[in-house]
Amino acid sequence: MPPEIVDSHCHLDFPQLAGDLDDVIARARAAGVSRMVTICTRLRLLPQVQAIAEAHEGIFFAAGTHPMNVADEPMVTVEELVALADHPAMVGIGESGLDYHYTAESKAAQQESLRLHIEAARRTRLPLIIHARDADEDMARILTEEYRAGRYTCVMHCFSSGAGLAEAALDLGFYLSMSGIAAFPRSDALRAIFRAAPIERILLETDAPYLAPPPHRGKRNEPAHTVHTAQAGADLFGLDYAEFAAATSANFDRLFWKAAA
């Protein structure tokens, strides 16, 4: 059997995957992806996300309002998120964050939503899952302000921002998650950011069905493809595949304590 790895962020309820979900999960298992976290991006869709986790061993879920959805969804409340965290398979808060690339017009609402998700993470002790795009300065400021107001844990999902935000996140004790982007040929600057980070703060993910790593780039991504990002990460850190798999799985267990092996 291949070494066990974790896909810490995917979207198994999205239509690109839902049509053949049993086969998707079977291929992931065969590749050594023993655990997956499927992410709810709109709370009204939580029942179908939750059902996937309940039906499959080793699949967990996180819940929140994606920043790109804030403008057309009811503003989440801390109480809602805290209540949802009672479910044994809910292991994270989010994804939340800031996206000024496509939805800058809702930045004020995004910032409000982000702070609410942070408070829920603080109260539940579940890790906050952050999406950040074209908002490095505000993201670093808000994460730092809120951390000073009360500690919480966090992963910068699908990290592809600048070195300044990476440094700010690592200084707070947060984690950086490596997606297929880190394996793209033109991602040398991003690889340099990961290389400078402690191996103890690195997670793996696909963000499936998006961002498939080579040799599947441009096609549908799925959790089985985590292996290609893991191999790129192992090469980056000068480790063999099994060592990198064990290190990132241990990191996942430390952060996502409800899903610990």
pLDDT digits (tens, 9 = 90+) for 111-154: 999 999 999 999 999 999 999 999 999 999 999 999 999 999 99
Average pLDDT, the chain: 97
Spell out the alpha helix ranges (H) of the chain: 15-18, 21-31, 46-55, 78-84, 107-124, 136-149, 163-171, 188-196, 226-237, 241-255
String of DSSP letters for 93-113 = EEEEEEETTT-GGGHHHHHHH
Is the pLDDT at 261 greater than 90? The verdict is no
DSSP three-state, residue 129: strand
pLDDT above 90 covers what percent of the chain?
98
| Residue 116 token pair | 């609410």
Q: Can you give the pLDDT at residue 176? A: 98
pLDDT, one tens digit per residue, over 26-47 is 999 999 999 999 999 999 999 9
Is the pLDDT at 1 greater than 90? The verdict is no
Q: Can you give the pLDDT at residue 18? A: 87
pLDDT, one tens digit per residue, over 150-208 is 999 999 999 999 999 999 999 999 999 999 999 999 999 999 999 999 999 999 999 99
What's the CATH number for 5-259?
A: 3.20.20.140
Global pTM reads 0.97
pLDDT above 70 covers what percent of the chain?
100
Going from N- to C-terminal start, the domains of the chain cover: 5-259
